[in-house]
Structure 1
């Protein structure tokens, strides 16, 4: 890891918990008490969640944290925080491993190391009746341990860990010291310049860009060439019937 640790972002709090069920659940519980953006880090998470309610395994030594943002954002704007988180993870992992060429971003919410899944992102909001509520941005990183592939869904991306893939050993609190400033930088870029620079940066690191992939939504399965990400953050596939924008899907290579 680089010997120069970035400065903790101004106006952001941090809470380190020895154990919690889920950092996203904890964020929802304490949202009303927060004065500003707060990172919640669990040294042990007993009921971690991934997308669509899937379990997320968190053995000790791995990273499980949530950035709780008390002020709400419109759903479309909140969804762009997935790109903020992915780019921040790429920067933090680059600092931790000095292996930028090994890191790629799998739309919409996974980070790959040497082509295997090393991190995932889960966005949740508690807004009701069209009113934006607090936003929880959950992030899990396999720092020391990768889950047993036999415990995953049959088509799930093969997992890896930072330690096994690169030999870099970093503890969760030190990784948060890298991630929080990186997130704040990309968040400032989004607020000041809009989504366009994040879109370009994501495409520069996007896994399988320009190649055939399959997108499975709740309603259909689409196969086409990954040709773009549009201004809303949707994946654009060029299919036999022309370009198709995919707002949410599981992606398979």
Structure 2
């Protein structure tokens, strides 16, 4: 079943779908992308085959948030990848809006949001021809068990367990759509520079030692900054290294 609504504070130009059940919102984005008239949020109240980065399973109990923004864009791969920072800032602001709290919220490179040190949300980007699919999952009610998390990864938390705040997925979608539209407009108008600056102001473990894993290779160094291309820059024993894609461990 698909529900479509027009809300008075919904951002202009963005479509909205809420599905009772789907295999994954990313898969649904792939099926619908070419038929959508403009940027559209696809939200699912239940996913049967949710997935995260690199094909990993994303545990998504009922009550948590799962949505994909299908965004038409002519941008190349490098610029498309910067939308993870746009989405991270939008998530940060949305979580502040629904909880009234900013303490304990940080952004983990490249695409996670942390709350009181635990992972509360993740972002997944995939190109679909002339569209970019931005998948977002948020542990609103329930955090996955630690056994569902890979070794050394940040343990998950939920908004409810960490802050005592309960929010419905549809209500969170309305807030997130508004915060995303604001940061997207800034990105389109002014480029990555102000997005980068705002992201760094909220970055987790900036100035601290972290480890970047790229396949079977690891690099450890001080997290110095994120460069103009969105790469994490580590100051290592052999010099500064700018890394475009990796899993980061603390």
1:55-107 deviation digits (Å, cap 9, x = unpaired): 00111100000000133421011101100000000000001111112100000
In structure 2, distance between residues paired with 1:67 and 1:165: 26
Matched with 1:171 is 168
In structure 1, distance between residues paired with 2:74 and 2:106: 29
How many equivalent pairs are there? 244
In structure 1, distance between residues paired with 2:201 and 2:35: 39
Structure 1, 118-127 or 138-147: larger mean CA deviation: 118-127
From 12, 15, 22, give the equivalent of 2:14.
Answer: 12
In structure 2, distance between residues paired with 1:123 and 1:21: 17
In structure 1, distance between residues paired with 2:214 and 2:78: 18
Matched with 1:56 is 58
1:105-131 deviation digits (Å, cap 9, x = unpaired): 00000000001000000000123xxxx
In structure 1, distance between residues paired with 2:124 and 2:118: 18
Moved over 6 A (4+): none
From 137, 140, 147, give the equivalent of 1:140.
Answer: 137
In structure 2, distance between residues paired with 1:155 and 1:84: 26
Q: Is 1:34 aligned to 2:36, yes or no?
A: yes
Structure 1 contact 67–137 (Cα < 8 Å) conserved:
yes
Q: Which runs of 5+ in 2 are unaligned?
A: 1-6
Structure 2 contact 33–128 (Cα < 8 Å) conserved:
no
In structure 2, distance between residues paired with 1:219 and 1:152: 18
Alpha-carbon shift at residue 155 of structure 1 (Å): 1.9
Structure 1 contact 35–70 (Cα < 8 Å) conserved:
no
TM-score, normalization by structure 1? 0.94
In structure 2, distance between residues paired with 1:78 and 1:51: 16
Matched with 1:85 is 87
From 212, 217, 234, give the equivalent of 1:215.
Answer: 212
Alignment of 1:61-76 (within 5 A): 61-76=63-78
In structure 1, distance between residues paired with 2:224 and 2:139: 29
Alpha-carbon shift at residue 20 of structure 1 (Å): 0.3
Q: Is 1:193 aligned to 2:195, yes or no?
A: no
In structure 1, distance between residues paired with 2:190 and 2:227: 16
Q: Is 1:99 aligned to 2:101, yes or no?
A: yes
Which secondary structure state, in structure 2, belongs to the residue aligned with residue 223 of structure 1?
Answer: strand
Alpha-carbon shift at residue 134 of structure 1 (Å): 1.3
In structure 1, distance between residues paired with 2:169 and 2:110: 24
Q: Which runs of 5+ in 1 are unaligned?
A: 128-132
From 243, 246, 252, give the equivalent of 2:243.
Answer: 246
C-alpha root-mean-square deviation of aligned residues, in Å? 1.2
Matched with 2:120 is 118
In structure 1, distance between residues paired with 2:57 and 2:157: 17
Matched with 1:231 is 228
TM-score, normalization by structure 2? 0.95
